[in-house]
Amino acid sequence: METIIHLAIGMKYPIDIDSSKAFLKNSIMINHPRFCSLLVRDRSGREYWRRTEVDIDRHVIVLDAPVTTPDSHGSTAEAAVNEYLAGLAVSTPLSTEKPLWEIHVLRAQRCSIMRIHHALGDGISLMSMFLASCRRVDDPDALPRIPSGKSKQNQSGNERRRRRRNWGEVVWGILMMVWSNLVFMVDFVLRSLWVCDNKTAVTGGAGVELWPRKLATAKFLLEDMKLVKKAVSDATINDVLFGVVSLGLSRYLDHRSPNAVQEGLRLTGLAMVNLRDQQGLQDVTELMKNNSGTRWGNNFGMILLPVYYHKSGEDPLSYLKRAKSMIDRKKQSVEAHFSYKIGDLVMSLFGAKMACWLNYRILCNTTFAISNVVGPQDEIAFAGNPMTFLRANNSSLPHALAMHLVSYVGRADMQISVAKDIIPDPEFLAKCFEEALLEMKEAAAAITKF
C-alpha cells in the first residue's frame, strides 16, 4: 500500500546541516538493518531486504528557501509546513534505489520532516528508535522520559473492585467477555468484506488515497485532558481523546450537513493497537535482538472504534462516558490479536496481494483512522537542537479523514489529514475538536465545583 509515516519536528534554533548529518552517521538508526537495506525483488517477484552502504547526502534533502505553495503565501510557518506535508503525502513516493527513508529539512521554518516507509516499522518501533537518538535538554546525558500508563490510584481502585467481586459476578463477567469477543470478531469480518458506514460529509473510499490532501493541527493541553478524565471514574487519556473526536465530529457534521444526518448514525474509526507484551515505547536494544520477545517491525492489530452522531445540546461529558464504555469492552476483547492473526493467516495461505486487499477493504469500509503515541514529558534535543513540537501523520489511506495524536512536554498535537475535495476546511474541523475539549473541561469543572 506504500504507506509512508511523516514525523514533523520543530526546532528551537536554526538547523546546522553539517552537525545534523554527522549526528545521523553515528546514530542508532543508521546501524539498524532495515535503515541500511534496499527493498529488492527477485525474478519471481518476491521482495526481500539487501544490505547496502548508506549515503547520508542522498537521504537528507535541504530546502534553504522558505516553503511556499499556492495556498500558503502570506501564511504562518505552521501552515506552510502543513501544506508541504500535504504535498508529500500524494506526490512524492520514496525511491527504491536507496533505503526507504529520508529527511527533509525546511531551514526557513526550522522544521525537519522524517519520511519513513511503514515497511521499516510501526509507530511504536520508530518512535522508540527516534527517542533513543535524542537527549533531554535539562540533562544531556539522559534519555527522554515517557509517562507511565495507569496511575497508582487507578490500579489500587481496580484491585479493590476485583476483591469485592463474588463468584456470580465473575461468571457473568466471563460470559459477557465471550459474547463481546464474538460480536467484535463477527463485526470485524463483515467490515473486511462488505459492511460499510453510511455516506456522510467526511466519508472517503476506494481511490481517495490518491486525492489531494490538506493538513491542519488541533492543539490540546494535557492538563485539560487530565482534568476531564477525572470527571469520569477510571477514565484514561485515550477515553478523553475519543470523546473529543465524537463530540467534535458531531459539531462538524452539524456545520456541514445541518438536519441531514440521522441522530445516532454510526461512524466507525479504525485504530492500531500495539501487540507487544510491554505496552508503550520500547527499549530499542531489546527490539533489535533476534531472540527478543518484543520484535522489531510491524506488530500491531486493528480495532474498530464506533462513534455516534448526536445533535447539539447534549451533555459534553456523555460523549466521554460512551467512549469509555466502548473502549473498556474493547480492552477485554481479543479483537486486535484476532485481526493480526487473520492477516497473518491470509498472508501465509494466499500471499501478500490478498492480505493487502483485505486491509484495503476494511479501510474503505470505515470512516476514519486514528492513532495516539505517547511522547516525552521533558523537552528533548536532536543533534543538540531543542525541539518545539512533534507531529505525525501518514499517507496512502483511502480515508478522507485521518487523525494522529502525539504528546510532547504537556501538550498534545493532533495532525488532521483530509482529502480536501471532501473536507475542504480541516482548520474548522480542528477548531471543533479544540472546542469540544474546552466544553468537556467546563462541564468537568462544574462537577468538581459542586
Residue with cell 531486504: 49
Residue with cell 484476532: 338
CB 419 within 8 A of CB 213: yes
Q: For residues 236 and 227, what is the distance between their CA atoms, to the nearest angstrom?
A: 11
Is residue 118 annotated as a catalytic residue, yes or no? yes
CB 300 within 8 A of CB 336: yes
CB 419 within 8 A of CB 55: no
Q: For residues 417 and 216, what is the distance between their CA atoms, to the nearest angstrom?
A: 7
Nearest CA-CA partner of 204 in 54, 402, 71: 402
State how far the alpha carbon of 264 is from the alpha carbons of 2, 170, 204, 323, in Å.
Answer: 35, 32, 20, 14
Residue with cell 495524536: 405
State how far the alpha carbon of 48 is from the alpha carbons of 29, 30, 51, 389, in Å.
Answer: 20, 19, 10, 35
Catalytic residue among 32, 117, 118, 404: 118
Strand, helix or coil for residue 356:
helix
CB 180 within 8 A of CB 338: no
CB 443 within 8 A of CB 315: yes
CA torsion, ordered 432, 212, 266, 314, to nearest 10 deg: 10
Nearest CA-CA partner of 234 in 150, 140, 340: 150
Q: For residues 400 and 369, what is the distance between their CA atoms, to the nearest angstrom?
A: 9
- What does the DSSP 8-state code read for residue 209? G
Q: For residues 294 and 55, what is the distance between their CA atoms, to the nearest angstrom?
A: 30
Torsion sign (Cα): 405, 408, 411, 413: negative
State how far the alpha carbon of 252 is from the alpha carbons of 152, 248, 399, in Å.
Answer: 37, 6, 17
CB 399 within 8 A of CB 363: yes
State how far the alpha carbon of 310 is from the alpha carbons of 102, 258, 263, 351, 382, in Å.
Answer: 43, 12, 5, 42, 44
Q: Which residues are catalytic?
A: 118
